[in-house]
């Protein structure tokens, strides 16, 4: 059984890896496992492959992040890079754009697996029927999820509900959005009815009732943006009903919302996060519903983290040898001025829990790799350094000490080392590892950074610091506002008279920076090992607020937003005067989505359902606004898929140009 199921899975994964985009990625009847698939256990094992791309291909590399987040009001490329310009700025976006081409394939490959599980359930003759019901419900939940990804990004795709056969679909036709959403809604309703509140076999990587209900609320909201209704009732009303039911009955659904936003991103909560509704599970998080393959580790942080290593004379750590921040060698996703300005950091803890703005050196005393005062861990400010970086000369001779110690824990046969960080308390310079402390998240720096701080080298200040205020601080201070030009783009030149290259820095999204003892890929500095949120409970509150606002109930919308704002408030006493809303507008809702879910694969879909690109891009992403047009409300249909079918012209490209290979040179 294992061999035949492995062969089936290999067929799926191989098709996805090669970006095959036919609507029938593999044929289970071609394998020798027919007998096994007539047992509950056999079908359950096949069902695990419905999860296969979630972490391996979607939530661990930048492709899906680019599709889901860029081309919006939230993200620009640092220093206005041209890498990924097709999706960031709609420049040269075609049917062959790699990320959209791949996504189309990945979704259909797993839809076919889901179809096989659902349709073959009737033939199962051996095993527990209650388990079978859950197996089918999981497959329906996941099929709905993949179709929601497809219809959101590509519009009227082809609806396929049967598993592939030897007869290829060479002339597919587009299904209506109503047909696709009807299947999504029905699948999720039936899944929610049959799934349990606890995951099968105790494996939290598997979907449960709360995942189906959360996705149902999301699907209704997305369909509402298309003007859809159900039995004469607006999808906005349905989204409101589902979201509010999930909120009102959280305990009975085993759902949860942390009281403190810091706990959402606490490293210790990542592998069993109570706020999660649906996750893409990282390596060794579960061997049943997730099996890692050639990918198997999150590289997203390399795309969202800036490179402090560029300041090589004051930050003498190679960009590919940074055992604390990791291998920060991509640096594409920089927050827009709008996203930065969304946060009032005086009151909102989501600022530092979303972005790293203070950069430090680190020791490796625990690992025994160097001493506490090693030249690469402790910096003494010289006259030249102070002059170059605009630090007041009175700090010449001052030492800047490590903020963290990074212990290298050897994992033996599991592969390499895992680098686990603890924090040196402020004022502790002994190098005694017994003085180290554990914090919720070592990548969340103290806010605001104290004037007398001596554990950080570079500080990107949210509040504007005058020259007099900077002179009180013995470290590099850069005002975040100074990183931006008047048109909202990042400056491409040096930002000060000293000609320092601090323009390469930006507030770095830290939501993807998880590293754990026991993770398989710990020795690879460009890989992290944490679970990824596909959906969490905070989004349900946002959907409830969004639906209420769309239905004209601004005061009720504000109540849901206030729950998130209150738990994010730095001091309880500040909430009433500085963060509480009495009513909510559409802009209030969109702003709160930005604060709460920035980087969490939701922004493009949100702006699409609000038809907000034309109003928001000119203000917050003018480079994208130049190229955006109505056709960009849909992603280009996969070039690979169009090349495989016989009616590509009839099927269409969603308005994007077909890629044409250059002619061979003479």
pLDDT tens string 151-206: 999 999 999 999 876 556 788 999 999 999 999 999 999 999 999 999 999 998 99
In this prediction, residues 284-300 reach a mean pLDDT of 52
d(CA 528, CA 226): 37
First to last CA, the chain: 54
Q: pLDDT grade, residue 289 (50/70/90)?
A: very low
592-638 confidence digits (pLDDT tens): 999 999 999 999 999 999 999 999 999 999 999 999 999 999 999 99
Q: b/e for 560-593, b at 16 or more Cβ within 10 A?
A: bbbebbebbbbeeeebeeebebeebeeebbbbbb
Least confident of 111-120, 164-173, 198-207, 320-329: 164-173
How many CA atoms within 13 Å lie on the side-chain side of 592?
Answer: 30
Residue 376 pLDDT > 90: no
Residue 233 pLDDT > 80: yes
pLDDT score at 16: 35
Q: pLDDT grade, residue 217 (50/70/90)?
A: very high
Q: pLDDT grade, residue 498 (50/70/90)?
A: low
Q: Which residues contact 220 (CB under 8 A, 6 or more apart)?
A: 185, 235, 236, 238, 239, 242, 547
Beta bridge partners of 423: 404, 437
Residue 578 pLDDT > 90: yes
Q: Say if residues 135 and 127 touch (Cβ distance below 8 Å).
A: no
Q: pLDDT grade, residue 33 (50/70/90)?
A: low
**Better pLDDT: 657 or 444:** 444
pLDDT score at 81: 80
Supply the DSSP symbol for 229: E
52-65 confidence digits (pLDDT tens): 889 888 998 899 99
Find where tokens 């290593």 sit: 309
pLDDT score at 523: 62
Please name which of 194, 103, 102, 213 lies closest in space to residue 147, comparing C-alpha atoms: 103
Find where tokens 């500080």 sit: 459
pLDDT score at 626: 97
Residues of the chain with pLDDT > 90: what percent? 71
Q: Say if residues 164 and 26 touch (Cβ distance below 8 Å).
A: yes
Least confident of 311-315, 585-589, 626-630: 311-315
pLDDT score at 411: 66
Residue 413 pLDDT > 90: no
Question: In angstroms, how far is CA 496 from the centroid of its own chain?
Answer: 34
Q: Which residues contact 310 (CB under 8 A, 6 or more apart)?
A: 319, 501, 504, 505
**Better pLDDT: 589 or 81:** 589
Q: Say if residues 531 and 282 touch (Cβ distance below 8 Å).
A: yes
Please name which of 326, 324, 330, 357 lies closest in space to residue 343, comparing C-alpha atoms: 357
As a whole number of Å, the CA-based R_g of the chain is: 25
Question: In angstroms, how far is CA 541 from the centroid of its own chain?
Answer: 18
pLDDT score at 316: 84
Burial of 607 (0-12, 13-18, 19+ CB in 10 A): buried
Structure tokens at 220: 């209704």
In this prediction, residues 68-95 reach a mean pLDDT of 92
Supply the DSSP symbol for 484: B
Residue 648 pLDDT > 50: yes
Q: Where are the alpha helices (DSSP H) in 537-662?
A: 537-550, 554-568, 586-597, 603-609, 613-620, 622-627, 639-644, 648-651
Supply the DSSP symbol for 465: P
Residue 472 pLDDT > 70: yes
Least confident of 16-25, 189-198, 582-591, 639-648: 16-25
The torsion angles phi and psi of 362, rounded to 5 degrees, stand at -145, 150
pLDDT score at 663: 43
In this prediction, residues 484-506 reach a mean pLDDT of 76
Find where tokens 């509010």 sit: 244
Residue 293 pLDDT > 80: no
Residue 312 pLDDT > 90: no
Helix, strand or coil, per DSSP, at residue 265: coil
Q: How far, in Å, are 85, 321, 418, 658 from residue 415 at the CA level?
A: 36, 18, 9, 44
Q: pLDDT grade, residue 282 (50/70/90)?
A: confident
pLDDT score at 286: 37
In this prediction, residues 92-116 reach a mean pLDDT of 94
Supply the DSSP symbol for 37: G
Peptide linkage before 448 cis (omega within 30 of 0): yes
d(CA 542, CA 593): 7
Q: b/e for 130-164, b at 16 or more Cβ within 10 A?
A: ebbbbbbbbbbbbbbbbbbbbbbbbbbbbbbeebb
Residue 300 pLDDT > 50: yes
Q: Is the pTM of this model over 0.85?
A: yes
500-525 confidence digits (pLDDT tens): 666 678 999 999 988 665 554 556 78
């Amino acid at each position: 059984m294992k061999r035949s199921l492995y062969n089936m899975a290999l067929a799926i994964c191989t098709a996805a890896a090669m970006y095959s985009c036919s609507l029938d990625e593999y044929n289970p009847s071609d394998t020798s496992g027919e007998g096994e698939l007539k047992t509950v256990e056999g079908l359950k094992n096949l069902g695990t492959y419905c999860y296969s791309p979630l972490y391996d291909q979607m939530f661990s590399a930048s492709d899906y992040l680019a599709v889901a987040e860029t081309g919006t009001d939230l993200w620009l490329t640092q220093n206005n890079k041209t890498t990924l310009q097709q999706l960031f700025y709609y420049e040269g976006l075609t049917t062959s754009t790699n990320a959209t081409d791949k996504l189309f394939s990945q979704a259909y490959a797993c839809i076919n697996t889901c179809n096989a599980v659902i349709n073959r359930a009737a033939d199962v003759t051996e095993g527990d029927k209650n388990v079978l019901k859950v197996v089918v419900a999981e497959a329906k939940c996941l099929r709905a999820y993949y179709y929601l990804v497809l219809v959101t990004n590509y519009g009227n795709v082809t609806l396929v509900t049967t598993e592939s056969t030897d007869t290829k679909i060479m002339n597919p036709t587009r299904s209506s959005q109503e047909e696709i959403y009807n299947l999504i809604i029905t699948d999720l309703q039936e899944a929610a009815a049959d799934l349990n509140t606890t995951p099968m076999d105790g494996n939290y990587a598997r979907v449960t009732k709360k995942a189906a209900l959360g996705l149902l609320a999301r699907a209704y909201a997305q369909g509402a943006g298309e003007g859809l209704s159900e039995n004469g009732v607006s999808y906005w009303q349905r989204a409101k009903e589902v979201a509010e039911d999930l909120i009102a009955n959280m305990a009975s659904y085993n759902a949860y919302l942390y009281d403190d936003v810091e706990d959402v991103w606490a490293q210790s909560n990542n592998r069993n996060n109570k706020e999660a509704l649906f996750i893409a599970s990282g390596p060794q998080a579960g061997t049943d519903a997730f099996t890692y393959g050639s990918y198997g580790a999150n590289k997203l942080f390399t795309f969202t983290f800036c490179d402090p290593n560029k300041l090589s004379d004051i930050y003498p750590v190679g960009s590919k040898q940074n055992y604390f921040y990791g291998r920060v060698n991509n640096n594409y996703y920089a927050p827009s001025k709008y996203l930065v300005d969304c946060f009032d950091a005086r009151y909102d803890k989501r600022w530092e829990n979303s972005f790293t703005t203070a950069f430090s050196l680190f020791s490796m005393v625990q690992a025994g790799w160097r001493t506490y005062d090693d030249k690469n861990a402790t910096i003494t400010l010289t006259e030249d350094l102070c002059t170059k970086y605009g630090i007041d000369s009175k700090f010449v001779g001052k030492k800047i000490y490590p903020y963290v110690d990074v212990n290298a824990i050897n994992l033996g046969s599991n592969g390499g080392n895992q680098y686990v960080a603890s924090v040196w308390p402020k004022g502790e310079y002994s190098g005694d590892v017994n003085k180290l402390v554990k914090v919720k998240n070592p990548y969340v720096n103290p806010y605001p950074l104290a004037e007398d701080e001596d554990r950080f080298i570079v500080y990107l200040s949210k509040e504007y610091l005058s020259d007099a205020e900077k002179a009180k601080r013995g470290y590099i201070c850069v005002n975040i506002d100074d990183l931006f030009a008047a048109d909202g783009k990042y400056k491409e030149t040096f930002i000060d008279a000293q000609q320092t290259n601090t323009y390469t820095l930006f507030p770095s999204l830290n939501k993807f920076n998880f590293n754990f003892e026991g993770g398989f890929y710990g020795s690879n500095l460009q890989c992290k090992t944490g679970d990824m949120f596909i959906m969490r409970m905070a989004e349900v509150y946002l959907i409830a607020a969004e639906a209420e606002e769309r239905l004209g109930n601004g005061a009720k919308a504000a109540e849901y937003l206030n729950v998130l704002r209150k738990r994010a408030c730095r001091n309880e006493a500040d909430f009433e005067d500085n963060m509480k809303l009495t009513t909510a507008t559409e802009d209030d809702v969109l702003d709160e989505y930005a604060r709460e879910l920035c980087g969490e694969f939701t922004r493009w879909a949100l702006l699409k359902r609000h038809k907000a690109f034309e109003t928001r891009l000119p203000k917050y992403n003018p480079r994208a606004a130049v190229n955006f047009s109505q056709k960009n409300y849909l992603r280009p249909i996969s070039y690979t898929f169009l090349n495989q079918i016989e009616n590509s012209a009839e099927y269409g490209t969603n308005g994007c140009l077909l890629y044409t290979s250059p002619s061979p040179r003479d």
